[in-house]
Amino acid sequence: MIAANLDFSGLSHVFLPCVKIFNNLNFEINPCLRDNPRMHRPTIDWRHSRPFRICLLLLVMLVALLGTVPYFISFDLIKSGLSIMLEKDTKRQLSIRGDARFVLLPQPALLLDDVTLTEPGETTIFSHADRVRIELSPWPLLIGKGKIKALDFEKPALNVIRREDGTYNFEDLLTPKSHTKELSFSLDTVHFTEASFKLSDEFLGESLRLSRLNLTMKNLSDPKAGHLDLDGMLLIGDNGRPVQWQGALSASAAMRYHEADHRLLVADLLLELEQKGGSSPELRLQNVKVSTVGNLVYGWQPLRFKGGELKLNISGQRAGQHWKGELDVPEILLSKEAVNLNHLKLNVDMQSPSGQLSAKATIPNLTGLKQGLLRTETASFEVKLHSPEQNLALTFASPLELLNGSIARLPAYRLTGTYTNRNLPRGAIGLDLNGAGALNLQAESLSLSSQGQLDKSPVKAQIEVTDFVRPHYAVDVDLNKLDLSPYLPVVAAGAKTVNPDKPFDFWWLDNLDASGKLKIGELAMQKLHINNISLEFAAKNRKLNLEPLAATLYGGQLTGSLKVDASKKTPSFRIQQKLANMNINALLTDVIDNSRFEGRGHLDLDVAAVGNQLSHLRRTAGGNVRLLLNQGAVRGIDLEALLRTASRQISLMNGETSPSLNLDAKTSFSELRSTLTLKHGVASNSDLAVTAGILRLTGGGTLDLNSNAIDYNMNASANPKVPALKGLSGLSLPIKLTGALSAPEYHIDYASLKEQILLKQKTASEAQAPVSKAPAQKAAQPRKAAGLKAAAGTKATAKKTTSPKAEKPHK
């Protein structure tokens, strides 16, 4: 609550010359009456004396002249006397461009037209009025005293400035002077007609204007009938730019003025303010209504101000948000140097399409210097945010410091609360923090520096918020560990954890405008574990960019970026990542419950996709993937064993099948290289290269993410340096993979291997045959080859096996 320092003692500069002039007029008139000899005859009958009647008539005419002539005669003495006295005491220049008159009827009064008062030592106008009427009590004038009874201002304009140091530009007028003993106040009526006031705050950089203001305070000396009436317009903004906000103002109250102790009582105050028209784009206010009820006591000499049971209610809309607030100030004590606000209570509610915000503040006592800092040791705040997507409940307890009415500091707060999210339905994440914060209402900014625990794990956080309507968040969080598993939906045993046809929900990006840094030592989601997460993020206009993004993933180092654009009807994604030395078996086991591959993985990924479902992303994915596995294995098939026994089985391969594959069998390798090109969800590959101890594996094919199918051909060749496989030198074993990606079927073409062996043997025997037999052998060669081919086609069949069900996942 800000109260203006009202003190009329400084107006003595205006009235004293008028009192002296009135006394001089008496001295000019009284001698005329005393010098009339007829006035001293004691034997005359006053009722029938003709001289008496004549004198009485002359007296009436003189009184009438004294009451009317001043309306037509200008007193330059009043102008010069007032100007000289005021400039001497205050360094201000008083200019009276119109007439200055002193009248006796119907009441003694001083009339001043077109009055202007400047700032001290400047030509800047402090106040101006078209006309000022100062009404005096008649009887004190007879003894040379001036007592002001009423003040009436027509179209006054006052420019009040609050300087950066907290002082006001009118305080010099409130300082009593030595000659003010000849002037006193007994105000009964104060009236403003079409007044305008401008209140400027140099610290806040804002101004407030009251225009077309009509104010009447009457019967102030009556202990029962005093009353205040006010109506006008309140405008916010400077003269040099369009009005930022305006509203109609009205007020009424019972008034009591106690002359003895210089107190003005305002009881049963009812003040109402209602917005008219729109507001500036910066404020974005609509339908604002303010009402104030309560009691006020204002006194001066010494200055003091009291308020009792003062309540303020405000409601309105701002940028689609519906706000309601209530301020309860049971007791206000304002002295010349200090301010005491006791038992403050503040309730604020905000309703918007995205949710509801409610806040409560309780301040037992707020004290400090009037122009300085207000402080309390025990302020408490409660904040609740509720929406269909998330809920946040916070409790603050902290000392509170208020500076210049717009800056609030929380030097040492304790913050506790809980957070829930519809994607984390099983309980609330708790937080317990300590720190310091600052709130700047003028700049619409909030900053918090905290440390403590989040979900019982150490955390440090720096959060800054700017623009409370469309807030921007600047965040720097360092969290030791976050385990979301207890809060995630329950997954039944054997059920799929991801529904590929469930639409993505980007509600959290709708109004998010944020940037910052995030570090998490360990993040756990069900079986998936990611360590040492470090990223910088930017989110605005339903776009999210994570760059750079780094983490430790199952022993490997992940670096790259992730971009999500949900601003269009169909969201788009792009991921660019480099992964080095990752344990591929542990990752696949924890994520997709598949332990078929082993090794240390190196991945270079650049993939983009569009869609609102996982199934859409599979169909639209495109880009490049480079894969390298070191010191690994493929479970479910042992190519080494197949090659070792191939020589012995050649003679039995006509129609025979090999034993069924099992998960215990595996093919170990020292290196696996592959480059895949993604287009419309189909990955194509033609450069598979696997190096193992006794074999080499090459191949190519397609992996269709849309239909979850694989069509891939590989060729396994033997190392000729291995004695057991010396007979297979130069031969290859064709292997075809088909079926589902998660459980492919292996087709081993032994017939092709047999054909290669027979062809190799034939070529070797031909090389050893005598030259003379060459023509006969050449003639028989087509027939023999045709027979071999027919036999191979009818009796040899491809080995077909289906990989068994994956074993139970393990780490």
Per residue in 543-564, pLDDT (tens digit) is 999 999 999 888 888 899 999 9
Residue 522: partners with Cβ closer than 8 Å, 6 or more residues away: 480, 481, 482, 483, 529, 530, 531
More confident: 107 or 82: 107
Query: Does the structure show a pLDDT above 60 at 788?
Result: no
Query: Does the structure show a pLDDT above 70 at 774?
Result: no
Average pLDDT over residues 738-763: 78
Query: Does the structure show a pLDDT above 60 at 578?
Result: yes
Res. 15 pLDDT band, cuts 50 70 90: very low
What's the first-to-final CA gap in the chain, in angstroms?
66
Least confident stretch, 147-161, 172-186, 283-297, 710-724:
172-186
Amino acid letter, residue 36: N
Spatial contact of 450 and 415, defined as CB atoms under 8 Å apart:
yes
182 SS3 class = helix
User: CA torsion sign, 691 to 695 to 700 to 702?
Assistant: negative
Query: Does the structure show a pLDDT above 60 at 8?
Result: no
pLDDT tens-digit series, residues 426-474 = 889 999 999 999 988 778 898 999 999 999 999 999 999 998 778 899 9
Res. 303 pLDDT band, cuts 50 70 90: low
Output the pLDDT for position 500: 78
Query: Does the structure show a pLDDT above 50 at 288?
Result: yes
Find the helix or strand (DSSP H, E) in which 12 lies: helix 12-34
Which string of DSSP letters, residue by residue, matches 341-378? EEEEEEEEEEEETTEEEEEEEEEEEEEEETTSEEEEEE
Residue 716 CB-density burial (10 A; 0-12 exposed, 13-18 middle, 19+ buried): buried
Least confident stretch, 91-105, 128-142, 157-171, 485-499:
485-499
More confident: 662 or 628: 628
More confident: 338 or 790: 338
Output the pLDDT for position 240: 62
Output the pLDDT for position 417: 93
Output the pLDDT for position 236: 77
Query: Does the structure show a pLDDT above 50 at 660?
Result: no
Query: What does the block give as tokens for 416?
Result: 């506790």
Give domain limits for the chain. Answer: 567-811
Q: E strands within 163-226?
A: 183-201, 206-218
More confident: 600 or 162: 600
Output the pLDDT for position 12: 44
Residue 610: partners with Cβ closer than 8 Å, 6 or more residues away: 570, 571, 572, 573, 616, 617, 620
The pairing of strands 514-525 and 482-483 is: parallel
Output the pLDDT for position 185: 62
Query: What does the block give as tokens for 500?
Result: 């590929």
Short-list 561, 614, 556, CA closest to 587: 556
Other CB atoms within 10 Å distance of the CB of residue 122: 11
Output the pLDDT for position 647: 53
Output the pLDDT for position 550: 93
Output the pLDDT for position 397: 92
Spatial contact of 721 and 692, defined as CB atoms under 8 Å apart:
no
How far apart CA 359 and CA 439 sit, in angstroms, is: 15
Residue % of the chain over a pLDDT of 90: 23
Quote the DSSP letter at residue 333. Answer: E
Output the pLDDT for position 561: 94
pLDDT tens-digit series, residues 361-410 = 998 888 876 556 788 888 999 999 998 888 999 998 999 888 766 788 88
Output the pLDDT for position 700: 92
Query: Which residue has 């542990």 as its token pair?
Result: 586
Query: Does the structure show a pLDDT above 70 at 495?
Result: no
Query: What does the block give as tokens for 699?
Result: 């191949």
How far apart CA 100 and CA 111 sit, in angstroms, is: 6
Output the pLDDT for position 152: 92
Res. 203 pLDDT band, cuts 50 70 90: low
How far apart CA 434 and CA 474 sit, in angstroms, is: 19
Buried b or exposed e, range 172-210, using 16+ CB within 10 angstroms:
ebbeebeebeebbbebbbbbbbebbbbbbbebbeebbbb
Output the pLDDT for position 447: 93
Short-list 595, 618, 597, CA closest to 607: 618
More confident: 344 or 304: 344
Output the pLDDT for position 462: 94
Output the pLDDT for position 644: 67
Least confident stretch, 8-22, 408-422, 484-498:
8-22
Short-list 450, 454, 453, 415, CA closest to 436: 450
Average pLDDT, the chain: 76
Residue % of the chain over a pLDDT of 70: 69
510 SS3 class = coil
The pairing of strands 157-162 and 183-201 is: parallel
Output the pLDDT for position 591: 57
pLDDT tens-digit series, residues 306-353 = 666 788 999 999 878 899 999 887 777 766 567 778 888 899 999 988
Output the pLDDT for position 30: 41
Average pLDDT over residues 293-307: 68
Residue 360: partners with Cβ closer than 8 Å, 6 or more residues away: 345, 346, 347, 348, 381, 382
